Amino acid sequence: MHKRQKLIVLGFAFVVTSAAMLLSVQAANKAATVSKDSSKPVAKIAPRKQIQFEQDKAKAHMQELEERMFRLSNLIRESQPEDAARLLLGLRKAREQLILDRMGEASKMLDDLKLDQANKEQKEILVLLEELKKLLLTADIGLELKLEQLKKLIGSRETISKLLKKEELQLSNTLDQQNKKENKKKLKALETSEKRNQKSAENLEQTLREFGTGSKGICKSLSGAGKCMGGACKKLGESKPKPASDEQKKAIAQLSKAQLDTKKLEEQLRKEVESLVRQRVMDQLQDMITQQKQIREVTTKLQDRVAQKQKQAQVAVRRLSVSEEKIIGLCLESIALCDLTQFSLVLPVALGSVLEQMEFVNEGLLHSKADKQMIADQRQIEEDLQALLDAMIDASRPSNKKGGGQCKGCKGNRNKLLSEVKMLRWMQQSVHKRTENLDQQIDQKKISETAQRERFELLSVRQKEIDAVTGRLHSMTCPHCLAGGE
């Protein structure tokens, strides 16, 4: 038994190591692709073939990785169910994201000398591989599984909503046929559509069964809706629109209940993961601040040498864009977590504003920019991220009757509301500051008309977002919270 456990540990280590190796190989392929100049295809055929060969090797490694994850998950299912779930989740994500297929597409692009497109595809593959590696190494697989469940629940609820609209249209069309003669052809078409709806209800029921007892009521409603749809099919086939419409009404009632229960289960799951996701986003914000500070320090050291146009220094600055892209990836991940769990209304919009600045800095680094303005922009990102992190720390403070922070009306945590308001205030100050800077650049004629229009559009979008979020936050807040009473 000890030998078996040792083999399992070695097997799991191999999977993780393979994922890390695959990530480094893909990164090397991307770097090599970027360095090739597609304007001279004839002279670059041999190097391009070499990169394509390495890309094909990466694809073969990925295929082997998927096979090993599947085999190992079956091997450890009983002895290590958590790690087995981790491997299956990793395998499912890899296949859903079509990593293997996309590697093949990148190879084809290299073969066709579409180096820019290949570079873009490789960049996206790198992000997916980084996510896969994190998933295989994460300490809290329980959270990952719940987040995947939440995504499925949201997708299922949206599918139920679409199915409900289709069934309501079916009912409307069926009622239209009640007083019409020689309508067999139209009733036959309605029967076909009803069968499709029934099949969709059955598929949804199977999908939601994996949630266990929590989805029992939803599955029962979907099963009932499917049976009613089946009854409607039978009546439509018999050219009896009136009894068919009665069955459709019952199906609509069952679907409405399923939709409501799915939303309740979704909210329940959100509450379960909120504190864990909040902590993860806070950790990611801290990581972004640390990494951005490191980039700024290196940029500062290279500033004078870049000003002297030393080639080695310019290359070093361009390399910093790789690190900046990692920060951008973390920011995007944080935004996705906020959108998925909805623990904050303002934070994803605020992070979107910082993301714009990160992308602006990244573009400058790619062009070997290392002047005072670049360093100032990097420092501003650090300060903006720190402001958002401080607001989140405030929101994490518990509320109670003795310690304060609890609203006397809704009994909710007013610290969360204050945190949201602080982030809103930061957003408005940020837009105001960027507007002033743009005004100065225009006065000093340091910006082109095209750049002016682009900046105006971005600022306009941000201001509209602030207005919209402020309105939503106000509508969701109870009168006692707004009054400030505890």
pLDDT band at residue 306 under the 50/70/90 scheme: very high
Spatial distance between the Cα atoms of 280 and 216, rounded to a whole number of angstroms: 31
pLDDT of residue 193: 94
- In sequence order, what are the residues at sequence separation of 6 or more whose Cβ sits closer than 8 angstroms to the Cβ of residue 18? 61, 64, 65, 68
**Per-residue pLDDT, 8:** 44
Mean of pLDDT values over 441-460:
83
What is the band of 43 on the pLDDT scale with cuts at 50, 70, 90? Answer: very low
In this structure, how many other beta carbons lie within 10 angstroms of the beta carbon of residue 205?
21
DSSP per position, 359-382: HHHHHHHHTT--SHHHHHHHHHHH
Average pLDDT over residues 421-438: 84
Mean pLDDT to the nearest integer, 362-389: 92
**Residue whose structure tokens are 């303002």:** 346
Token digits for 471? 């309105």
Residue type, 90: G
Structure tokens at 458: 């971005």
Question: Hey, which residues does 413 pair with through a beta bridge?
Answer: 406
pLDDT at 320 over 50: yes
> For the segment 229-281, what is each residue's pLDDT rounded down to a tens digit?
999 999 999 989 999 999 999 999 999 999 999 999 999 999 989 888 999 99
The answer to whether 327 touches 292, Cβ cutoff 8 Å, is yes
Which comes out higher in pLDDT, residue 248 or 213?
A: 248
For residues 435 and 342, what is the distance between their CA atoms, to the nearest angstrom?
A: 29
pLDDT score of 189 more than 70: yes
- Classify 114 as helix, strand or coil: coil
Give the angle subtended at the CA of 38 by the CAs of 34 and 43, to the nearest 5°.
110
Contact 391, 426 (CB under 8 A): yes
Q: Are the C-beta atoms of residues 105 and 124 closer than 8 Å to each other?
A: no
Tell me how far CA of residue 361 lies from CA of 66, 194, 318, 425, in angstroms.
36, 54, 11, 24
Helices (H), 209-310: 216-237, 241-307
Q: How many residues does the chain have?
A: 486
Report helix, strand or coil for 454: helix
Q: Are 19 and 64 in contact (CB under 8 A)?
A: no
pLDDT band at 10 (very low <50, low <70, confident <90, very high): very low
The pLDDT score that the predictor gives to residue 90 is 79
**Is-above-0.75 flag for pTM?**
no
User: For residues 83, 85, 86 and 89, what is the CA-based torsion angle, rounded to 10 degrees?
Assistant: 160
Average predicted confidence (pLDDT) for the chain: 82
- CA distances to 59, 94, 283, 353, 379 from 133, rounded to whole Å, are 16, 11, 18, 28, 30
Query: How large is the average pLDDT for residues 452-473?
Result: 84
User: Domain spans of the chain?
Assistant: 2-138, 165-264, 273-483
What average pLDDT does range 130-148 have in this prediction?
75
Mean pLDDT of 401-419: 61
Phi and psi at residue 404, in whole multiples of 5°? 85, 175
Cβ pair 464, 440 in contact under 8 A = no
Distance between CA atoms of residues 338 and 350, nearest Å? 11
